Amino acid sequence: MADPKRLYGLKALVLNSADGIGEAIARTLTRHGASVIAADTGNSGVAQQFASVRGVTGVVANLTDPESLEKLVAETAGTLGGLDILVTDFLFRRKAPLARVDEHLEALLKHRASLVMAVCRAALPHLEKSPAGRIINLGFLRSFFAADGSEAAARAEKDLADLTRALAAETGKWGITANYIQPGGIMTPESRDTFRKSAGLRDHCIQASAAKRLGEPVDVAKVALFLASDDAVFVSGTGIAVDGGRL
Residue 1 lies in a domain: no
* Number of separate helices (H) and strands (E) present in the chain: 8, 7
Closest CA to 147 of 195, 187, 102, 200: 200
Q: Is 161 helix (H, G, I), strand (E, B) or coil?
A: helix
Look at residue 93 in the predicted model and tell me its pLDDT. 83
Closest CA to 236 of 153, 174, 156, 157: 174
Angle at 27 between CA 23 and CA 28, to 5 degrees: 115
The CATH number of whichever domain residue 121 belongs to comes to 3.40.50.720
Look at residue 215 in the predicted model and tell me its pLDDT. 98
**187-242 pLDDT, tens digit each:** 999 999 999 999 999 999 999 999 999 999 999 999 999 999 999 999 999 999 99
Residue 131 lies in a domain: yes
> With 90 as the cut, is the pLDDT of residue 40 above it?
yes
Task: Compute the mean pLDDT over every residue in the chain, rounded to the nearest whole number.
Answer: 96
Q: How far apart are CA 5 and CA 9, in angstroms?
A: 9
Q: Is 242 helix (H, G, I), strand (E, B) or coil?
A: strand
3-state helix, strand, coil in the chain (%, to 5): 45, 15, 35
Q: How far apart are CA 123 and CA 116, in angstroms?
A: 11
**67-120 pLDDT, tens digit each:** 999 999 999 999 999 999 999 999 998 889 999 999 999 999 999 999 999 999
Look at residue 84 in the predicted model and tell me its pLDDT. 98
Q: How far apart are CA 115 and CA 92, in angstroms?
A: 12
Burial of 237 (0-12, 13-18, 19+ CB in 10 A): middle
DSSP string, 196-233: HH-HHHHHHHHHTBTT-S-B-HHHHHHHHHHHHSGGGT
Q: How far apart are CA 143 and CA 186, in angstroms?
A: 8
> What single-letter amino acid sits at 123?
A
Cα pseudo-dihedral 57, 19, 236, 219, rounded to 10: 120
Residue 4 lies in a domain: no
> With 90 as the cut, is the pLDDT of residue 4 above it?
no
- Please enumerate in sequence order all residues whose Cβ is within 8 A of that of 58, keeping only pairs 6 or more positions apart, or say none: 17, 18, 38, 39, 40, 46, 47, 48, 49, 50, 51
Q: What is the pTM of this model?
A: 0.96
Q: What total of structural domains would you count in the chain?
A: 1
Residue 2 lies in a domain: no
Q: How far apart are CA 201 and CA 194, in angstroms?
A: 8
Which residues form the domain of 118? 11-242
Residue 81 lies in a domain: yes
Residue 130 lies in a domain: yes
**142-200 pLDDT, tens digit each:** 999 999 999 999 999 999 999 999 999 999 999 999 999 999 999 999 999 999 999 99
